[in-house]
Every structure is written in C-alpha cells, then in structure tokens.
Chain A
Amino acid sequence: MSSIEKAIEKANAEKKKQHLEQQRRDIPSREGYAEPDTHSPVGLETPGSLTDRYEALNFSMLKLAGYLTPEDNNSLLAEEFRRIKRPILQNAFGAPAQIVQNGNLVMVTSAVPGEGKTFTAINLAISIAMELEKTVMLIDGDSVMSSVSRVLGLSSGLGLSDILKNSNMRLNDVLISTNVPKLSILSAGSNKQHVTELFSSDSMLNLVSDLSHRYSDRIIIFDSPPLTASSEARVLADIVGQILVVVEANRTSQSLVQDALNSLDDSKAIGLILNKCLKSDVKNYGYGYGYR
C-alpha cells in the first residue's frame, strides 16, 4: 500500500489545486450535485462548502487498490454496496428511524483486525455519497491505525481526537472536503493518548449530537477499531445508533465473531456484512435488518 500512498500524495497537490479552481468556478460535480450552498446558511460546517482543508482523492489509485470509486457504476462491488446501504439508509432516514435512536450514526467495526472495516467504511461512504439527497461524513475512529487517512492518502493532520481535546478548535478547521462532493472526512487526529476517555467525554457527546442533528440528510460513518482490540470501539458502539460488523469469510473464527457480538448492546441496530466472499451470494440476501 505504501506505493499507492506515495502516488496518491503526489497526485494530491494537483487535485487540490483543481478542486479549488472548480469550486471557485462553481462547476457542479459529476453526479449532478446541486449548488453547494443550498442546504444551509453559514454554520459550523457545510457539506461542499469551503472547509479549511481540502484533499483530492486519487480515484485511479483507489480503483487499483480495489475500492469503489464514484465513476464505478456497474461493477459487482457497486452493486453489492447498493444493496448494503439500503437498510442502513432506511434505519437512518426511513420508517425504522423512529425506533432507531441516532440512526444516522453508523459504526463499521469487526471482531479482529484485517477483516475489511476500512474498506467497507470507505466504500459505503462513497456509495452513499452517490445518493442524490444524502451527504456523508466519514470519521476515522481508529486513532492507532488511521487507516482511512492512509488508504485515501490524506495528509496526517488534525482530526477527531484533536477536536475533542481542544475545545477551541472548530470543526471546519479539521474537516476535510474531497473531490467527492457530498463526502467529507474527519481523520483520526494526531493525539493518540486517552482516546477512549475522549470518546466517552462530554465533548464527544456534544459533537456527535451536533453532527447528527444539524442536518437531517447527513449520515455519519465511523470507521472504528476492532471490537476485541480496544475499548474505543465499545465506547463508540454506545454512541452510535447502527453498528455494522464486518466478518471476513473463511478466516475469522466463529467464536471470535460470536464473542465480539456478545459484547454489543442489543438495543442498537446491529447488522453483519460478510466480506471477502468467494461467490457472490446475491440470492441469499439478508433477512430484515432493523431494530433488534
């Protein structure tokens, strides 16, 4: 992945320049996205508005690495994520949303490392960002690995943990807007100490509440550490409303998965995603997903 990182970084500067120009010229993005300012007045942050940070994602690199890109419409991956995001969006905005609290806060986790959380989180974010009326904020909740930043080739900088620590910081200072118009990213942050405590602090609660209630059409995806690895995941699990557990097919032992699931709160909307499957089980689509 390091070669990709390097390449992505190289291309970053260029894209950044491009995007800034684009913004100034007010050219709508590919997906027919509406005017940037339609949603809200000046606020803390506005999707697509001029945040302080902007990073352009290198789609070709992402594609090489196997990720979903906005250009990718018809691949198997695109189809799979179309299916996956439906119930999630339902729980966030649809009828079940009455029952699911904080349904627009989604956490992507797994039992053990390496099952594909980041992969899923990023792809899910991009897939939802393709929706006509939804915006996505992807938050890297893994302060140790910072995989989201790494994969997307974002420069390591200030992020979630910094905001939580430093009350003076504004979200717009750290939020990253990208060349995917409806997608903004909050990296993990430079501070790697006491992250669990930060996550369970009031400032986190306030931030999250603010994020979730401010915009009715925004969905917030947390890429979290594995459930067995740290306590951060568990704290996050309490905050969010939907929990997606990624299970790697043919590798993760069933008992580990079961243990991880047992540690979750039943009152949340919990769903599983079977990753790295060998055959596309499109027929055996999941049962109803909802409030459990």
Chain B
Amino acid sequence: MSDITEYLDYLWHIWQRRWIVLAAATLVCVIGWSFVVVLPDQYQVNAKIHVDTETILKPLLQGLAVDSDITKRSAELLQKTLLTRSNLEKIARSTDMDLNTKTPSEFEDVIWGLAERIHISGGSQRDRRQQQIYSVTYTDIEAKRAKVVVDEVLTLFVEESLGAVRKDTNLTQDFLNKQIVEYEQKLRNAEERLKEFKSKNIGLMPTDGSSYFVQLNQESTQLSEAQLNLDEALNRRKELKRQLQDVIKAATKSGKSASPAIEAINQRITEMEKKLDELLLQFTEEHPDVVSVRRILDDLEQKKKRETRKITSDTAEGIALLDNNPVYQELKVALGEEQTKIAALQVRVNMYRDNVVRLEDLMGTIPKVEAELAKLNRDYNVIHNNYLELVKRRESAKISFDAGSNPDDVQFKIIDPPRVPLRPKGPNRLVLFTGILGAGIGVGVGIVLLLLQLKPTFNSIRGLTKKTGFPVIGTISLVTSSTAIAKERINLLIFGVLAIILCSVYAGLVLTQLMNINLQQYLN
C-alpha cells in the first residue's frame, strides 16, 4: 500500500512541476527533431555471392587461421583479407571519394569510414555442404556510390581469390617436386647400403642359416663319436701297456734269474757269505778280514743289483730277452697299432671340435645379421613407400590441374547483384522522433525527481517535526478559493495547449515518415 501511495506522491509532485517537464521536453524535442530531420539519408546496397569454401576460401585465408576456424569465422577473415589498406584506397579512388578530401587526414577518415561500413557476413554453419553464401553490405549517403563500392568489393574478392588459389597450386607443385628429389636420393642411399651389407655377409644370409644348423649337428655328433673312439683307444692302449709291463716284469724276472753273470755273482756271494760265517766264528766284526769280506759282499750285492737292473727292457740284454718273448712281441705290435689309431683319432677329434666351434660362432652371429638385414630392408621400404606416395600426389595434382579444378574455372556465383537503391534504408526517423520525445519527457521527469531529491520539502507533520525538532501546532489545508481555482484553470489551459502543440508537431513528423515524405528536400 505504501508503495502505491509513494508512487502517487511522485506523480503528484511531477504534476506540480509539470512546467519543468514541458520545458525540458520541448527543448530536447526541438533540438533533437531538427537534428533528426537534417540527418542525411542512408542508402544500403547488398550483394550475395556463393563461394566454394574448399577451393576458394582455404587458399585465400590460409595463414590467418587454423583450418577448423576458417569455416566458423570465414566472414570475419574474408573481411580482413579483402579490406586491406591498399584495397580500400583502390575502392576510394574508383568511386571518386578521394576528390573531396583536401588533407591526408580527411582521406584517412574516408578510408576508415569505408572500412567500418563495408560488412562481409555469411558462411552459415547450417549449410552442411561446404558451399556457402556470403553477402557484402555497404551503406552510404549516396545511392549510386554505394553500389559502385559493392561492385568493387566483389571484383576484389574474385581477383584476390583467384590469385590466392593459383599461388597455392604453384606452391604445392614446387613443394612436391623438391620432396621427390630428396626422396630419390634417400632411396639410392638405402639401396647402396643394402647391397653392401649383403655382399659383406654373403654366407650368412638367412636362407643359409638352416644348413649351418644341420652342419653343426652333424659335426657335433661326429665329434662325440670320434671322441668316444678316442677314449676307447686310449683305454686299450693303457691296457696294453699294463700287459706289456707285466710281461716285461715277468720276462726280466726270469731273465734275471737265468743270467750267467748273475749266477756267477750269486756263487761268489755264497762263497763270501760262507767265508764271512767262518771268520765270524773266529773273529769279531772289527777284524779287518771280516770288514773286507763284508765289503766285498756289499760290492757283490751292488754288482748284482747292477746286473739285475741291466736286465730290463732298455739294455741290450733286456731287449734280447724281450725280443725272444713272443707275447712281448705281440703286445708290442698291438700297442703300436693302437698308438697309431689313437693319433689318427686325435686328429679327427680335433678337427671335429674346431668345426663345431667355428659353426657355433657363425651361428651366433647369424641372428645379428638377420636383424641388421631386416632393419635395412625396412628402411628401404619406408623410403620407397614415401617416394611412391609423393610421386602419386604430384601426379594427381597435375591431373586435377589439367582436368579442370582450374583456378580460372572457380565457383563464384553472384546470387544477388548489387543494385542502386531507390529508397533509403535509414536512418529510422520514426523511431528517432519517438525516442527523442520519450527522452525529452524522461529528462523532464528526471529533473523533477532530481529536484525532489536535492530539495526535499515537507508534507507531513511527522516529517516536519522530526527533521526540525520543533513541535507542529497544526496544519492548514490547502484552500481552494475560487480565484485560486480560476488561476489554476488558466494555468492548466495554457499547459494543455502547449502540450498539444508539442504532440501535434510530433504527430506531424510521424506522419511524414509514414507517408515517406522526404523532409530534406524542403530544407534544400
């Protein structure tokens, strides 16, 4: 409730000061409306062009944005590329806009004006096929000039696009050619390496690998066989040697006992021993005869030993003995045979062992070689593939170029050509007139409210006594005397008349807009 009364209060206050509102509104309206009437008409020219994004836009806008951006912001980017400083100057000159400018800064203004008022829009995302429609819009106070500008922009568009596409094709060709030459070289190098490697490792190529394995097995088995044989032979020899020793021992033993020399010594020994025994019966050990006999005995013993010893396999006696022994002879022969066998077997075993070791070594290196070979092959293949790919691309680019994705053959379709507009697009005077009226009233009301805030008045006892601190004895209601009423009436009348005048001016202006009366012609 209190809100409503507050608003009503405000309304009443505004009504009390309605003259302020009227004055403010009139002032604002007079200034504003004259301004609006004097505003020059704006003519807008619009042209629509249909452009293939892939072939045209991408090369044209390359470098300005990432591929995915191009489709989204193509219109923005187009505007940037087309409306360069030099292009704008071209446009200005072709439309004679530069003739009116006297100073460089004025020319600058013209250029800036063009840049601001030329709009390129379009490239709607809803169109799934990449072909898109762009529109070029330009607003100017002169209708003909507007059309010329749009014409110029379209021409520039086409020219620049073609140039860009051509440049792009050339660039691609150059790039491919360079790459292909590089790759040829690489390919040759790889082939060389491969050849070298193969020749260096001739026996070790993977196909030979299996035979080595077989060989190794063979040699191994042979080795073990030979080794076995060798061991057997060695054993036999040992046996034979032992038997031989036995024979020798036996033979020499008997030889030793049959030898005449030894017999003689034995006799003498017995004699001496007899003598010794006799002497010992008479004398002691210290007797010189005993001593000498003992000495002689020792000598004889020693001699015997010597003689015995002599009869071994080495002495002639021994040998003569042995030679006569047939077993000994047989054994000796067998031993000899065995010896030769062993030698032969040893040679064999060594040979086999060497082979095995050699083969094993070779086998060890084969995997390494295999791996190296595989790598070289791989490298070669990769280079080869890339090379083929490049060649293919170049060919296809050539083909497509020749076949007709020709820059000159490009998809430009002007859907809506620019036309000289007969009627101006703006400014929207109707809206402006109304807006100014509203603004004027608003300003007036605003001033009143501001005054209320700045210079508040009293309208209640409570407020009065609260603010001043003095008691309020009473109130006197507003007396509406007949004179006061009459005065008020006249005031109201004048106010009403003035307000009506203001509104009729407004209505008149609105009417001119609705009936498309051009006010400007009356001014000139």
Contact of B470 among A1, A64, A271, A279 (CB under 8 A): A271
B476 CB within 8 Å of chain A: yes
Docked CA distance A247–B474 (Å): 11
Q: With contacts A66-B484, A276-B478 known, is A251 near B471, CB below 8 A?
A: no
Other A-B pairs beyond A80-B476, A247-B458, 9, CB < 8 Å: A4-B483, A66-B479, A84-B474, A272-B473, A274-B458, A274-B461, A274-B475, A281-B475, A285-B461
Give residues 449-501 of B contacting A (CB, 8 Å): 455-462, 464-465, 467-468, 470-484
Q: With contacts A247-B458, A249-B459, A251-B457 known, is A272 near B482, CB below 8 A?
A: no
Q: Do the beta carbons of A274 and B472 come within 8 Å of each other?
A: yes
Number of A-B contacts (CB under 8 A): 134
Q: Which residues of A contact B13 (CB under 8 A)?
A: 250
Tell which of A39-47, A138-146, A252-260 binds the partner: A252-260
A-B contact pairs, 26 of them (CB 8 A): A77-B479, A80-B474, A84-B473, A84-B474, A123-B476, A245-B470, A247-B458, A249-B478, A253-B455, A254-B456, A258-B467, A261-B468, A271-B471, A271-B473, A273-B473, A273-B475, A274-B458, A274-B476, A275-B476, A276-B477, A277-B476, A281-B461, A284-B461, A285-B474, A287-B472, A290-B471
Q: Which residues of A contact B16 (CB under 8 A)?
A: 250
What is the CB-to-nearest-CB distance from A249 to chain B, in angstroms, rounded to a whole number?
Answer: 5
Q: Do the beta carbons of A284 and B462 come within 8 Å of each other?
A: yes
Contact of A292 among B12, B470, B475, B482 (CB under 8 A): B470
Identify the 8 closest CB pairs spanning chains A and B, nearest first: A66-B481, A66-B479, A253-B455, A84-B474, A286-B472, A271-B473, A284-B461, A274-B475
Q: Which residues of A contact B461 (CB under 8 A)?
A: 274, 281, 284-286
A76 CB within 8 Å of chain B: yes
Q: Which residues of A contact B457 (CB under 8 A)?
A: 248-254
Docked CA distance A1–B468 (Å): 33
What are the interface flags for B152-193 relative to A under an 8 Å C-beta threshold, 1 for contact and 0 otherwise?
000000000000000000000000000000000000000000
Q: Do the beta carbons of A273 and B472 come within 8 Å of each other?
A: yes
Q: Do the beta carbons of B471 and A272 come within 8 Å of each other?
A: yes
Categorize the interface residue count of chain A. 35 or more
Q: Do the beta carbons of A87 and B473 come within 8 Å of each other?
A: yes
What is the CB-to-nearest-CB distance from A98 to chain B, in angstroms, rounded to a whole number?
Answer: 19
Contact of A276 among B12, B462, B467, B476 (CB under 8 A): B476
Q: Which residues of B contact A279 (CB under 8 A)?
A: 477
What are the interface flags for B351-378 relative to A under an 8 Å C-beta threshold, 1 for contact and 0 otherwise?
0000000000000000000000000000
Q: With contacts A253-B456, A273-B476, A276-B476 known, is A261 near B470, CB below 8 A?
A: yes
What is the CB-to-nearest-CB distance from A220 to chain B, in angstroms, rounded to a whole number?
Answer: 18
Q: With contacts A66-B484, A257-B458 known, is A287 near B478, CB below 8 A?
A: no
Q: Do the beta carbons of A272 and B472 come within 8 Å of each other?
A: yes
A278 CB within 8 Å of chain B: yes
Docked CA distance A249–B12 (Å): 13
Contact of B465 among A116, A251, A276, A286 (CB under 8 A): A286
Docked CA distance A81–B477 (Å): 10
Give residues 212-265 of B contacting A (CB, 8 Å): none
Docked CA distance A288–B472 (Å): 8
A244 CB within 8 Å of chain B: yes
Docked CA distance A287–B459 (Å): 17
Q: Do the beta carbons of B458 and A254 come within 8 Å of each other?
A: yes
Q: Do the beta carbons of B460 and A286 come within 8 Å of each other?
A: no
The count of residues in chain B whose C-beta lies closer than 8 Å to any C-beta of chain A is: 30
What is the CB-to-nearest-CB distance from B455 to chain A, in angstroms, rounded to a whole number?
Answer: 4
A33 CB within 8 Å of chain B: no
Q: Do the beta carbons of B476 and A64 come within 8 Å of each other?
A: no
Q: Do the beta carbons of A254 and B459 come within 8 Å of each other?
A: no
Q: Which residues of B contact A64 (CB under 8 A)?
A: 481-483
Q: Do the beta carbons of A66 and B480 come within 8 Å of each other?
A: yes
Q: Which residues of A contact B464 (CB under 8 A)?
A: 247, 272, 274
Which of B16, B464, B479 neighbours the largest number of chain A CB atoms within 10 Å of its CB?
B479
A99 CB within 8 Å of chain B: no
Q: Which residues of B contact A239 (CB under 8 A)?
A: none
A88 CB within 8 Å of chain B: yes
Q: Do the beta carbons of B460 and A284 come within 8 Å of each other?
A: yes
Docked CA distance A189–B16 (Å): 37
Q: Do the beta carbons of A272 and B468 come within 8 Å of each other?
A: yes
What are the interface flags for A117-143 relative to B under an 8 Å C-beta threshold, 1 for contact and 0 otherwise?
001100100000000000000000000
A65 CB within 8 Å of chain B: yes
What is the CB-to-nearest-CB distance from B29 to chain A, in angstroms, rounded to a whole number?
Answer: 28
Q: Which residues of A contact B471 (CB under 8 A)?
A: 271-272, 286-290, 292
A83 CB within 8 Å of chain B: yes
Q: Do the beta carbons of A65 and B481 come within 8 Å of each other?
A: yes
Q: Which residues of A contact B465 (CB under 8 A)?
A: 272, 286-287
Q: Do the beta carbons of B475 and A280 come within 8 Å of each other?
A: yes
Q: Which residues of B contact A288 (CB under 8 A)?
A: 471
Q: Which residues of A contact B473 (CB under 8 A)?
A: 83-84, 87-88, 244, 271-273, 286, 289
What is the CB-to-nearest-CB distance from B460 to chain A, in angstroms, rounded to a whole number?
Answer: 7
Docked CA distance A128–B296 (Å): 202
Q: Which residues of B contact A287 (CB under 8 A)?
A: 465, 471-472
Across the interface, name the chain B residue whose C-beta is closest to A63.
B481
What is the CB-to-nearest-CB distance from B516 to chain A, in angstroms, rounded to a whole number?
Answer: 48
Q: Which residues of A contact B467 (CB under 8 A)?
A: 254, 258
A164 CB within 8 Å of chain B: no
Docked CA distance A87–B475 (Å): 13
Q: Which residues of B contact A116 (CB under 8 A)?
A: 476
Q: Which residues of A contact B477 (CB under 8 A)?
A: 76-77, 80, 276-280
Q: With contacts A120-B476, A253-B455, A272-B470 known, is A281 near B460, CB below 8 A?
A: yes
Q: Which residues of A contact B458 (CB under 8 A)?
A: 247, 249-250, 252, 254, 257, 274
Give residues 1-20 of A contacting B (CB, 8 Å): 1, 4
What is the CB-to-nearest-CB distance from B108 to chain A, in angstroms, rounded to a whole number?
Answer: 53
Q: Which residues of A contact B475 (CB under 8 A)?
A: 80, 249, 273-275, 277, 280-282
Docked CA distance A250–B484 (Å): 17
What is the CB-to-nearest-CB distance from A140 to chain B, in angstroms, rounded to a whole number?
Answer: 20
Q: With contacts A250-B16, A252-B458 known, is A270 near B476, CB below 8 A?
A: no
Q: Which residues of B contact A88 (CB under 8 A)?
A: 473
Across the interface, name the chain A residue whose C-beta is closest to B16.
A250
Q: Do the beta carbons of A277 and B472 come within 8 Å of each other?
A: no
Contact of B474 among A119, A255, A276, A286 (CB under 8 A): A286
Across the interface, name the chain B residue whose C-beta is closest to A247.
B458
Docked CA distance A236–B432 (Å): 59
Across the interface, name the chain A residue whose C-beta is closest to B457.
A250
Q: Which residues of A contact B460 (CB under 8 A)?
A: 274, 281, 284
What is the CB-to-nearest-CB distance from B485 to chain A, in angstroms, rounded to a whole number?
Answer: 10
Q: Which residues of B contact A286 (CB under 8 A)?
A: 461, 465, 471-474
What is the CB-to-nearest-CB distance from A7 to chain B, in angstroms, rounded to a whole number?
Answer: 12
Q: Which residues of A contact B468 (CB under 8 A)?
A: 257-258, 261, 272
